[in-house]
Amino acid sequence: MDDDVHRPHGDTAGGGRAGSGFTRPVAFWAGAAACTAGALLHLPMYWHARHMGYRMAGMPMDGAMIAGMALVVAGLAAVLYGLLPRRPADLRRKVTSVRVRAMDDAPLRPAHIGLLLVLSLAVTIDVMKPMTLSFVVPGAAAEYGLASPLHPGGTVPVAWLPLAGITGTMTGSFLWGWLGDRIGRRGSILLAGMLFATTAVCGAMPSFTWNVVMCFLMGLAAGGLIPITFTLLAETVPRRHRGWAMVLIGGNITVAYILTSWLAAELTPVYSWRILWLVGLPTGVLLILLNQWIPESPRYLLATGRPTEARAVLARYGATLETPADDTTPVPARAPASALAPAPAAPWTSGRSGYPRLFARAFRGPTLALTLLALAAGLLAHGFQMWLPTNLGRMGIEEVSSDRVLRDSALISLPLNILTALLYGLWSSRRTIVALGTLTTAALLALAVLGTDAAQHGLLLRLLLFVPLWGISATAAVMAAYASEAYPTPLRASGSSWAAAISKAGGVLILTLSVAAVAVPSLAATALLSAVPLALAALAFVRYGPETRGQRLDEVITERADEAPAHA
């Protein structure tokens, strides 16, 4: 029998570690093999174009590519079927009736260290996907004759490509939160990894239209992985290590930027901009292989009738189970299976979770502060940073020099990301956010004032770019960590997904303006657009942001059980 729900002892369907099985392992692995084979069938056309500088615009699809696309579609369907539970109708009610809390004073175990390392690499791979957009845009515009600052003669704006990608990430932030309750967090990460691998074929697409479609699908996967990752960390890492660990992992945005800019500088001159998409195939497969070390959510294991696996995961990570009923005594990890059964949903969780609840009176202020911070993070990453190579080229700085300037700035910011993590976890989460926002705002305003004249001051330009490039990774890291800590268990996934989606909404906004104007906003414009919400976010955290350092996850913000949601 391939359905874990019917296994009386909670054994995994796929074997291996507890919490690492599949509902239908044959369907999943057959689908994964079909997806990988389908993606590989796109490579011959790319290789055949090597004598033309890998320019594929206008080439007709060959039979291998068409067959590969069919395999990818069938494979993704099989992968999803392999992850779906037999009885999904009751999952949402059952999952929300169980609360998992890491032991507050437990030491970091080898399992925690392994999980942190794997999720750190997974976040790096995830962030590299949207970051690649800023480096492929100039090459795509040149090959397809698209309108851009460096190629103003085109009729179709190149901004359609990043707009599709960022819209996909915003959609994925909401979609993957919904999927997490239905196929599990681990299943959601596996599906994202498979989409990473298959949408790498964007690099072999002959037409710009197919590039846009694949970019949107890639964004779907990239947008949902980080909220799931940070929610998983919040429930498994002990309280005294939770803050700095999450911010440190979130700071891998800098590592992702270094890797992406290095790949752009080293590979693009030889293999064209398309190679930056194609490297997504091995990284996506690697993400799937790494997931054998990522546990499934104990809440999901219990809801699907796998108490033995849930108990093993809890024991490995030093976590406890609670119910939202009046008796909230933690259930030990070694409790019998009967004690691990989900409790009936309490009134305060039944029908009162989700995005509208984020605007209840108790959460309205923190949600406002977090929304402004997320909007600023999105404008920084998808406005200021994405168009930075193009704007530096507009200022007369060559493309290769631009890539190296950005890479060096990101490399210097690595030690500061460690400092940010320590300040967040050991000093104050709220004060760290305020200080970070203030410093980054000052640098952005200086760039906005200087504008194109900054190119005449090489050293000053590097120093001013250094602060926001560090601020991009640090802001995204503290945002993701704070969103996963500030809200109680029933709202944690919604809060994390909301922050992630709003951070992408900033990118959608600025890219929509780029498409409408058929032009890329200047360095001064992107700096100013990012500085305004970041300054407002710092002020909002001074007024409304609760301190999360040293707090229990469900005690950061408290509310009355009979409080009604706000009507915004």
Please indicate, yes or no, if residue 461 is contained in any of the structural domains: yes
Alpha-helical segments (H) within 319-452: 361-379, 388-394, 399-412, 414-422, 429-450
Residues 76 and 147 in one domain: no
Query: Band of the pLDDT at 415, cuts 50, 70, 90?
Result: confident
Mean pLDDT, the chain, as a whole number? 77
- When divided into structural domains, the chain yields a total of 2
Residues 71 and 134 in one domain: no
382 and 139 Cβ atoms separated by less than 8 Å: no
Q: Give bridge partners of residue 151 from the DSSP assignment.
A: 148
Query: Band of the pLDDT at 408, cuts 50, 70, 90?
Result: low
- pLDDT, one tens digit per residue, over 419-462 is 898 999 889 999 999 999 999 999 999 988 887 776 666 677 77
Q: Give bridge partners of residue 148 from the DSSP assignment.
A: 151
Residues 115 and 258 in one domain: yes
Please indicate, yes or no, if residue 145 is contained in any of the structural domains: yes
The DSSP letter of residue 331 is B
Please indicate, yes or no, if residue 332 is contained in any of the structural domains: no
171 and 178 Cβ atoms separated by less than 8 Å: no
Residues 164 and 287 in one domain: yes
Total residues belonging to the chain: 568
Asked if residue 11 has pLDDT above 70, the reply is no
Q: What's residue 157's pLDDT?
A: 81
- pLDDT, one tens digit per residue, over 111-147 is 888 888 888 888 888 778 777 887 888 888 888 888 7
- pLDDT, one tens digit per residue, over 386-399 is 777 777 777 776 65
Asked if residue 499 has pLDDT above 80, the reply is yes
Query: Band of the pLDDT at 520, cuts 50, 70, 90?
Result: low
Residues 41 and 173 in one domain: no
Residues 195 and 77 in one domain: no
Residues 231 and 272 in one domain: yes
CATH, residue 454: 1.20.1250.20
Residues 76 and 144 in one domain: no
Q: What's residue 523's pLDDT?
A: 83
- Output the six-digit token pair for 474: 């640090």
Dist. CA 549–CA 538, nearest whole Å: 18
What number of helices (H) and strands (E) belong to the chain? 23, 2
Please indicate, yes or no, if residue 14 is contained in any of the structural domains: no
Please indicate, yes or no, if residue 345 is contained in any of the structural domains: no
Q: What's residue 231's pLDDT?
A: 76
Asked if residue 236 has pLDDT above 90, the reply is no
Q: What is the mean pLDDT of residues 481-505?
A: 82
Residue 350 CB: number of other CB atoms within 10 A? Answer: 14
- State which residues form the domain around 79: 25-48+62-84
Residues 273 and 411 in one domain: yes
Residues 32 and 139 in one domain: no
Please indicate, yes or no, if residue 455 is contained in any of the structural domains: yes
Global pTM?
0.73
Percent of the chain with pLDDT over 70: 75
Dist. CA 366–CA 351, nearest whole Å: 22
- 187 vs 4 pLDDT, higher one: 187
Least confident of 106-110, 198-202, 404-408: 404-408
Please indicate, yes or no, if residue 544 is contained in any of the structural domains: yes
Please indicate, yes or no, if residue 317 is contained in any of the structural domains: no
Residues 80 and 117 in one domain: no
Residues 120 and 269 in one domain: yes
- pLDDT, one tens digit per residue, over 248-300 is 887 777 778 778 878 888 898 889 999 999 988 888 888 888 777 888 777 66
Give the residue from 318, 277, 272, 273 showing the smallest Cα distance to 295. 318
- pLDDT, one tens digit per residue, over 335-384 is 444 444 444 443 334 444 567 888 888 888 899 999 999 999 888 877 78
Query: Band of the pLDDT at 560, cuts 50, 70, 90?
Result: very low
Asked if residue 109 has pLDDT above 50, the reply is yes
